[in-house]
Amino acid sequence: MPDRNSLVHTGKYWVFRLYVDNDTIGAGAPAGDQYQLQVEHVTVIGDNNYVVRYDWTGAGTGYSTFKAINSIFGWPSASSFCSRNNTSIAWQDKFQACAFRSSTDPSVGMREACLTMTQSTDNYFTAQSTGNYYLASTVNGLPNPLINSGISTESFREFLADKSALAPAVLPSVWATAGRLPTLSGDGTQYDALDLGYHYPKVDAIVGTAGLSVEANLELTAGQVVATDGMIAVLAAATLVSQGSAAAPVVLIPSWQISDELAGYRPSQSADQWYCLWVPSIAESGNLIQNTVINGFSGGAVLDPRRVNRFRDNQISIFETGVYNWSADEGQSGYSGELMVENCMFKDLGGSAEALFQLESWSTMRCCTFLDFDGSTVIVGTTGKATVVNSLFAGSSLPWVVDPSRFAIDHCGFFETNIPINTTQPRACTVSPFAQGPLGAYYLNSTPSGGDLLRGNPATTAKGGTGTAAANGVYHRTVDPQAAIGESDNEVSIGYHYPPSPIPDTDADGLPDADEDTNGDGLVDIGETDPLHPDSDGDFFTDAEERAFGTDPLSAGDTPAVARLSLFVLISVVSSVKCVNGPARSSPHYLFWGWSSNLRRRLWRQLELQLCQ
């Protein structure tokens, strides 16, 4: 396997070390395109004595077989690229679409479509809070020659589709215009030459140290990654919709977790002591956080329960508090607020965190999994109430005695966790209930006294949860790593549920069933598209196409603007279409060149309706 997509920053000595055995039978010239070491999209920075060191033994002639593709070697020009002994090694190294500080080392004969960096290495890079070696857009006022200079293959494009060598933009401190966060494309598009060197994980935007004040509606969509150096706060009657998909969640992460020079939690840094999200009482109602990963923050989210319509299918890994259920209006006469937390996984990264903290608000948590909470997993507060049902506590801590009128724990599983007195129908696992699966490590196994106790089983009241999977909002999800479909109307299992893999898409419209039935009850409710019908509003665009264009898949009058423009142009240009005894007989698909076949057919059908009615 090649060394692929690495960033190497060294202070001395060498980066790669190869051994050439001159006396071994078969140690002659390499056959075909066989190399001892091949590196792809590697960036080498630092004061190295050499990039490659060769060690050889024996009295004969060995063959060096080092190959590099689309890589940057930014070592100081005064040093040599490699240690060499021309009498002992026959050079067979090869460099394709690479950049070097020296124009002669390695030799020209080994190079193919390579570049020489004539400026200081630092000029070719730019720093961001997520990394120090993104490619700068310009070098001394000219386009950076390392951008769009690489060899593009299907294998490279597939590997780099979710990565980028270009720095993400830093958002202004105020989100003032309603809309979607733009998505940054990875460096894997079919018709684009690849950028050289190391590619960071794709980040669509960075929130700076001043945070982000959301003062107009903000939408985060499937697969987007936001790295933050401050808190995202929803203010001024605005809403936040962070809605990923079952296969591609929204990811919110501190910038330093991606950076090449900062790793791990830094509790001594005051800048690290922030929550990722804050939805206060002044926000508009209708905030939605679903299929979202919140990872590595001190706290996950501070939520006013009256302002959050949906908090489900999320994974939250934190150091102090997962969800702080709080409203500034607590204590006022008539205050009532309940937060529903459904099918979420919480993990304690610091050893003393709590998954839920509240004072006077109420909460209901169902089908959740709590991992490694050595502190108090759930803190109910002074007058607050919490109900936890069909959930799993593993390696965690709970109060030994609970007041069921204020803290009800019903049909929950426990592994290496104390079981509080007054718990209803507990499932005590004496062996690990977990199994590795295609999407994670916390599926349930079928081991007796382990996962078998937690799996839904209508044949006995001593196993599984209470109610059906549909009633618990996990109709399309499962705890079984081998399952091809969700638990549907069967008895619900305990704990976090994953989508099946591959994720079913019954109507083949490009939206998985789990993403159309957003509340997971198995029904088509108000505001949901139909998982059994590819075009819920009948406007000839699939539900997935409308989601991608940002139009309403439930409104036939709201179609993608690009389609409306295309139809307007075509209707203006096409003077006549033969519509004798019915619609036109042929479709000029060339008019929609570059569009998907399904979209071309739908545009042509709309054109027929416009011209042939």
Q: Encode pLDDT of 190-236 as tens digits.
A: 667 899 999 999 999 999 989 999 999 999 999 999 999 899 999 98
The model's pLDDT over 258-267, given as tens digits with 9 standing for 90+, comes to 876 544 444 4
Which amino acid belongs to residue 68?
Answer: A
Residue in the block written with tokens 């490009």: 510
Q: What is the pLDDT of residue 587?
A: 45
Under DSSP, is residue 41 helix (H, G, I), strand (E, B) or coil? strand
Q: Decide if pLDDT at 589 tops 50.
A: no
Q: Who contacts 570 (Cβ-Cβ below 8 Å, separation ≥6)?
A: 591, 607
In a domain, residue 268? The reply is: yes
In a domain, 264, yes or no: yes
Tens of pLDDT, residues 240-251: 999 999 999 999
Higher pLDDT, 124 or 54: 124
Pair 291, 415 in one domain: yes
Q: pLDDT tens across 487-516, in order?
A: 999 999 999 999 999 999 999 999 999 999
The total domain count for the chain is 3
Q: Do 283 and 207 lie in a common domain?
A: yes
Kindly state whether residue 171 falls inside one of the protein's structural domains: yes
What is the CB neighbour count within 10 angstroms for residue 313?
30
Q: Is residue 438 part of a domain?
A: no
Residue 286 CA to residue 299 CA, distance in Å, equals 22
Read off the pTM. 0.86
Q: Are residues 72 and 208 in the same domain?
A: no
pLDDT above 70 for 457: yes
The mean per-residue pLDDT over the stretch 553-567 comes to: 67
Taking only the tens place, the pLDDT of each residue in 257-295 is 887 654 444 444 544 567 999 999 999 999 999 999 999
Q: Quick one: 110 and 199 in the same domain? A: no
Choose one of 429, 453, 482: the last residue of a domain: 429
* 344 & 220 share domain: yes
Domain that holds residue 50: 3-118
Which of 122, 139, 131, 123 lies closest to 163 in space, CA to CA? 131
Q: Is the per-residue pLDDT at 352 higher than 90?
A: no
Q: Is 351 left (phi over 0), alpha (psi -120 to 50) or beta?
A: left
Cis, bond preceding 399 (omega within 30 deg of 0): no
Lowest mean pLDDT among 26-35, 138-147, 339-348, 423-432: 26-35
H runs (alpha helix) in 428-556: 513-516, 543-549
Decide if pLDDT at 87 tops 70: no
Least confident of 133-142, 240-249, 601-610: 601-610
Within a domain: 262: yes
Does 255 share its domain with 366?
yes
Cis peptide before 502 (omega within 30 of 0): yes
pLDDT score of 388: 97
Give, rounded to a whole angstrom, the gap between the first and last alpha carbons of the chain. 60
Q: Which residues contact 357 (CB under 8 A, 6 or more apart)?
A: 321, 323, 324, 325, 379, 381
Do 247 and 344 have their domain in common?
yes
Picking from 569, 567, 606, 562, the residue whose alpha carbon sits closest to that of residue 584 is 606
Q: Are residues 101 and 236 in the same domain?
A: no
φ, ψ dihedrals at 421, nearest 5°: -65, 145
Confidence (pLDDT) at 60: 60
- Taking the C-alpha atoms of residue 32 and residue 574, their distance in angstroms, rounded to an integer, is 56
Say whether both 76 and 225 belong to one domain. Answer: no
Residues 103 and 181 in one domain: no
Q: Could you identify the residue written with the tokens 């605005």?
A: 238
Whether 218 and 359 share a structural domain: yes
Which of 118, 139, 155 is where one domain is finished? 118
Whether 54 and 179 share a structural domain: no
Mean pLDDT of 370-379: 91
Mean residue pLDDT of the chain comes to: 85
Q: Is residue 505 part of a domain?
A: no
Is residue 113, in this structure, part of any structural domain at all?
yes
The residue among 64 and 533 whose pLDDT is bigger is: 533
- Point out the domain boundary residue: 396, 411, 429: 429
Radius of gyration over every alpha carbon of the chain, rounded to an integer in angstroms: 29
Query: Residue 231 domain-assigned?
Result: yes
Contact 178, 153 (CB under 8 A): no
pLDDT at residue 188 above 90? Answer: no
Structure tokens at 83: 């240690």
